[in-house]
Every structure is written in C-alpha cells, then in structure tokens.
Structure 1
C-alpha cells in the first residue's frame, strides 16, 4: 500500500494506572491508551481507519501495511518525546498567548487597542494576569479583511513592540510580511507568528531563518479575502497535518531548527464549522509533527453559530470550552483574548485532573 500514515492519540489521561498498556505522551506526565490509526491511499482516500490499543499500534501497522512500519516508529517517537522549551517557555505547562491587535478592524477587538499607549498598557496587564506571550498584530486577517500596506502595519506595531520588549515581555509579531518580520524582530519581537506558514511573502522563509527566532506556522486555505468562500478538503484533519508537516520540513531545510517551530491548525481560516469541530477533536494527531501546538480559537464565529449567534465579546464561555478541549489533547499554547478567564479555567482543570 502506498500513501501515508496518521496516528491520533485517544483516551488521554494523567492517571497511567487507570490506562492499561498506556503509552507516554509528550513527556508531560500524560498517557494515551489507544489511537485512531489511519492509512491513506495515494489518491487521498481513506484506505483503513481503526482504533488500536497504544501498545499494539506498531504490530498493527506491520500487519496491515508493512511499508509504513518505519513511519509508525517515527511518529510514535514524536508522540512520546518531551518537547523542548519554545522561546524559553516550558512546553509541559500550558502557555497563554494574549491577542494584542493594534488595528481598527479586527473581528472582535478592532479599535480597542488602536492607540499604542492603550495597547501597551493592556498588554502588560494581560501579562500580569497570566499571559506568557504577547502577540502583536497590525493587520486584520478576519474573513474578508482588506490588506494594509507594510508601512502602515509597521507604524502600528513597532512602537508597541519596542515598549513591551523594554518591559521584558516575550513578544510575538503576528504578520505575513517579511519586512515586518525583520523590523519587528529588530525592535524586540522574540517570535514570528505567520498565518501563511511563511508562504505569504517570497522572502518570509529566508527572513525568518536569518532572524534566528522561533516561528509559528499556521494553516490557512486561501487568503483572508477568499478563505471562507467555499473551503473544501478530502479529510480536513489529514490535509492540515500534511500541509503543516511539509511546512515544518521546508523550515528545517531553510535552517530553522525543529525545536524552534510550532504549528497551528488555523481554526476558522478557510474552514466550515464542521471542519473546525473535526480539527478541534483531532488536535492530538498534530503531535505527530514533533512540534508544539498553538490553538487560536478565541471568540471565533463558529462558536456563535453553534450557540445563539452571540457577538464576539459574548463568546468567552465557548472559547474556554475549546481551550479546555485543547488542554485535554495536549496542546501547549493558546492564543486568547480573555487571559484571566483562560488562566482560571486552566488552573481549575489541572487541579481536578
């Protein structure tokens, strides 16, 4: 059989004794007792998909598709391996990334922090409340958003980044433009967070490699202007995995160390509500990339569609539900608007478990 192999850990728990034959997950004190194992044909169709006990995965693959045995060994090693620190942050603990949009038109908080002084004050307050990363963006990438010039984007973000860096904060620059990446890092940004996975600008990959800071690669189908027109996938969880795995390989080939790469499935970026739900459920499969995971789902539109069509700022409870689902599946970083609420939810969930 040709094609590819995917392993999604299931029945994840910190209680090893309650999971007979459980395998370690991410060296984080979590274990999984079973996995959804998928064999995909070269045409993208599903050849076989079964739930397999964690201790039997390798023998199952050797029996069903011997050519994939080596790939199975590689994935299982990545699933069990402890993630090194990312940008100096401990990946065995959940890390909160605060959204700092210095824009007039972001979908949820556009205009709230358009004033640089307000953006800085709010960002530092979010750090006090539990955010370990402050994600500064100067261009909205909401569905249908129009691009802004690089000069304007820089005018918005650089004063904020400089002040936050001076205060000792870990800042990420949320941009898809190489020039903005370069100047933001020079101003003190310590992470590049790109919704185009360093593909949106022909110079982004080289720029990120030369910058020498960690990168976050997100999956997006289409562009902000077109992504919600008619998103289509053969299997969204597998397609997103394939894309991110290829982008990780491209970054490594360009000289970015694997330990300096994180991946983001891009909830809401070229996905229907059904696609988003499938990705949220299948997040643990992305641990097979060998990279830390970032989940950005805060206040997004599908939450309202599944509830009572609430406005973005009234979607906090739904956002927390998604974040907790990610926490249960081993996600390490969470991009959120509501820092205090997320930190509280994590503290209680971890205390219970």
Structure 2
C-alpha cells in the first residue's frame, strides 16, 4: 500500500473550508459492503464506477465505508482495511480533486485510510475510540464529531429518552458534539477541520430526529461546519408512512432543502444529482446563489 501522507497536500483536492453555509458540499455515500440498508458497491470496480458517477453529478466528497452501520456479522479491523484502503487509493489516483472521507470509528482503520489518501474521518459512533482524533491531528485531516446517545457501534436505539421535554434531545445532542469537538481541538485538530453532525436516527427516534432538523440553527450557530447525514433514513420513511428506503427520495430531498436553508455545510447523500438540484433551488430562493440558466421571458 502506498503512503500518500506527504503527497496529499500537493494536490488540488477539495478543501473542507470550502464547505460552509450558503455553499454546502455534497458528500456521496460509497458503501464497500454487501449488506448496507440501501445501496452497496460490493466490489472495487463497482466502487470506482460509483465514485465516477457521483463526481460527475456534483459530489466534492466521497465517503467510503467498509462496515454496515446497523447490525450484521462482525467485520474485523483487517477486513475493514482491506475493503476501504484499495478503494481510497484508486479514487485518489483517478480523482485527485475529490476529498476522500472514510466512514469508520476505529483508529487502526483511520490510520491506514489516511496513509492511503483519505482527508476526512467520518466517525459516526461519537468518539467511542478516543484515539481517532489523534489520528486526524497527526495526519492533518478533518474529523466528524457525531452524537449517538451512548450507543455502542452497530447497535439500535430502543425507547431512548432525553429528559422530560421534547427539546431536551437538542440540548443533549449539542452538548455531545461540542464535547467531542473540544476533544478533537485538544488533540490538535484545528477548528476548520472539525465538523459536527447531529446524527439523526442514531440513538434517536423519529420525533427526536425531526426536532434536531427543526432546531438545526442551534448547531450552525456553534461556528463549526455542520454535516447532515439524512439520506433515506428511517425517520424520513416513518414521517411519510411505512416506507422502505427505496421510496424515501422525495422525503429526503424535502429535508435536504430545509437543512440547506438553515445553514448546513455538508450533505451526505446516496442521490447526488437530486441533492445538487435541491441545493441549487434552495440557495437561489434564499438569494445565496444565482439561477444557473435564466432565459425565461427574455426571448
């Protein structure tokens, strides 16, 4: 495996500072798994094709994961590395302008991924491995600080409660991600490389997740970039009805437009083209971007 640590800074790769309110980045989901809840790119060739399609449709970041978020068979550190690192190397060669994220909670995987060319650690399990921030600092890459309500990796919430009032989930989630952000800062990660994620569905029921989106301004007001990973999630399906992931796109796009209007800096998605269109319309309505082709009434 090549060590790309020294050469990564020499490329024209998308920089995290470019992802901000009013100009959100699109993070495409690339699952190197066989059992993901929606889409998988089970082989290296499939993953490379998925990245090519995503970048052509407007993704600036690709998030490569080797372990299903939910319950499933045990995946060892070695197997996770074998799944993600060859993909990261191939993407770094083929798409040097794309920021590569690795979706992992394990510092050993993060270390290998950074050496392969990753520039962002997407820790969806809320710092369960405290060494992850040190890896981010050592390799000068970004880190996502999430909130899972105390869940162990790959487990499901069951009747989680946050205080006595509906809004208490916002207080708990905000304090949780800020605590992790401060730990990352203490480890040596600068603020511009720290991203916070309220993490809907993880350790939360549908009411909790909806409340987090309603109060998203609490998170954008922290000064940290905010990632929203809401693509086709259960709270979308339950809000619409008893709807499977395959039929959750329209609901996801509605939530995405609201998140963009409320200041999200990054949207993680399975559907890059639809997400790019939603972002373009939302920003044109808010006045933060111009329409891309305006000839109506001028001919």
Q: Please state which band the TM-score falls in when normalised by the shorter chain.
A: 0.7 to 0.9
The equivalent of 1:12 in structure 2 is none
The equivalent of 1:251 in structure 2 is 184
The equivalent of 2:120 in structure 1 is 191
User: Is residue 206 of structure 2 the alignment partner of residue 263 of structure 1?
Assistant: no
Structure 1 distance, partners of 2:42, 2:203, is 26
The equivalent of 2:53 in structure 1 is 125
Q: Check 1:108–1:244 CA distance in 2 against 1; reply closer, same or farther (3 A cut).
A: same
TM-score, structure 2 normalization: 0.85
Cα deviation, 1:286-320, whole Å, max 9, x if unaligned, reads: 12322000000000112121223222121100110
* 1:118 CA displacement: 0.8
The equivalent of 1:217 in structure 2 is 145
Question: Cα RMSD between the aligned structures?
Answer: 1.6
Structure 2 distance, partners of 1:97, 1:226, is 24
Higher RCO (CA < 8 A, seq sep 6+): 2
| Higher strand content, 1 or 2 | 1
Aligned to 1:126, the other structure's residue is in SS state helix
Kept in 2, the 8 Å contact 1:294–1:335? The answer is yes
Alignment of 1:1-353 (within 5 A): 87-91=16-20, 92-109=22-39, 112-142=40-70, 144-167=71-94, 168=96, 169-197=98-126, 199-221=127-149, 222-234=151-163, 235-353=168-286
Cα deviation, 1:264-297, whole Å, max 9, x if unaligned, reads: 0011101001000100101110123220000000
Q: Check 1:90–1:333 CA distance in 2 against 1; reply closer, same or farther (3 A cut).
A: closer
Kept in 2, the 8 Å contact 1:173–1:193? The answer is yes
Structure 1 distance, partners of 2:252, 2:66, is 23
Gaps of 5+ in 2: 1-13, 287-299
TM-score, structure 1 normalization: 0.72
* 1:349 CA displacement: 2.4
Gaps of 5+ in 1: 1-84
